[in-house]
Every structure is written in structure tokens, then in C-alpha cells.
Amino acid sequence: MATATPPRLTRSQVEEIVRQVVTERLKAPGPGASGLVVHASARHAHLCREDLDRLFGPGYELTVDRELYQPGNFAAKETVTLIGPRSRLISNLRILGPLRSRTQIELAFTDAVSLGYEDVPIRLSGDLDGTPGAYVMGPHGVVVLKEGVIRAAMHAHMSTDEAAGYGVSPGDVMKLRVGGDAGVTFERVHVRVDPAFRLEVHMDTDEANACGLRYAREIGLFK
């Protein structure tokens, strides 16, 4: 049962490693190359300017820890503590930049259950009305988030050309098949198109674990 990984990793570190391995195994060889990239997003937070000020102090700026696959997006060095119903919490919740107009917390259902949520709806990014809230704690202060906690709907980023290649438009829904020992087809992959996007599907850690993304032998995105 010996492993190459050092002992006493936190769960989030393990998830980070899994995510990286997935990235390395599946992504196209370099920027601009064709090829479908599927990333498992671990739970994370997007913050608005006002909430960043409250959590980290007025005028605070996020520090880039790692560039993400979509241009301009990054994992910040900064994290927050998320407190859910029944006073249970998740610490070291990663902040992703850049800032957004509304604060949004993306959890897998496993995270939601462990935090004590009865239900967290599957939503597209930014579609936050009527979603559950949370308390968010930073080094400078606390934000009482009235709504903004979601499970992110699976989605595909693609450029205008790639959308044309697939014959799809923004808002369409595609299917993602992950072949392997599990063999799972996800039917509701929402299409997001922007000239600057690179072809990439985002799923959450529950979905990645269920389909064995790490060990996938073939991956296909289709209408």
C-alpha cells in the first residue's frame, strides 16, 4: 500500500493533485492545439469587489497562484472559510479570479451534504436567485451571503470557431461521454461561447469521481 505521495495531505491538496493529473493526461499538448480538455473543478468561490473588501480589507487585490485553462482566469493564493447550515464549515475554500459582479460559491453535492445543506440547486454560473446562502469568513471580516451557493451545471467553454465546428450555439446543451470502467454519459453540458475561450469541459468532483475521469479511456463531446 505504499504510495509516492507524501503523508498528511489535506483533502483539498489531494483534490488539487487529482485535478492536475487529469489535466496533464487529457489536455491538448499546448495552447491553440485542438483536443478536448475536461477539468474537474474542486469547490471554490468567486467574489465580488464589495465582498473581497469585507473579507480581506478595502482595496485588496487577489494574488495569482496559478493560471487556469481559460485565458484571464486564475486560482488565487487567497482562501476563505465557508460556514453552512448547522454551523459546519469548510476551510481553505479557494478563491478563483478575476472578480465578478456577484459572489458565487460552487460546491459538489458531497461538499453540500458535509456542510449540512438539504439541497443545493444545479445552476449555471451567475444564475443565483433563490439559491441558498452561507457565511463566508476571511482574515478581515465576515460576509453574510444571502444567496449564491450552487452546484455548477456541467458546461463546455469553446471559441466561436469551435462552436461552429460542433454546430452549436450559446445556451445549447451537449452530451459528454466518458468511456472506461464506469462508462457515463452526461446529458446536460451547457455550451458557453466566447472568441477568447479554449475548448474545455468543466465538471465537479462528484461527477469526476462517478465517471472515473482520472482513468477515462475515451472522452467525447457531441450534440
Residues that bind a second copy (CB under 8 A): 1-5, 7-9, 11, 14-15, 18, 84-87, 108-110, 113-114, 116, 118-119, 121-122, 132-134, 153-154, 181-188, 204-207, 209-212, 215
Cβ proximity to a second copy: between 81 and 212 the closer is: 212
Cβ at position 45, least distance to a second copy in Å: 17
Round to whole Å and give the CA distance between 120 and 152.
10
Nearest to 191 by CA among 171, 175, 177, 176: 171
Round to whole Å and give the CA distance between 134 and 84.
5
Q: Tell me the residue type at 2.
A: A
Round to whole Å and give the CA distance between 109 and 160.
32
* Residue 205 DSSP code: H
Round to whole Å and give the CA distance between 87 and 125.
26
Distances (CA, A) of 115 to 32, 46, 110: 39, 18, 9
Cβ at position 20, least distance to a second copy in Å: 14
Cβ proximity to a second copy: between 170 and 183 the closer is: 183
Nearest to 155 by CA among 221, 82, 74: 221
Cβ proximity to a second copy: between 49 and 223 the closer is: 223
Cβ at position 182, least distance to a second copy in Å: 6
Cβ proximity to a second copy: between 49 and 217 the closer is: 217
Cβ at position 178, least distance to a second copy in Å: 10
Cβ proximity to a second copy: between 5 and 34 the closer is: 5
Cβ at position 183, least distance to a second copy in Å: 4
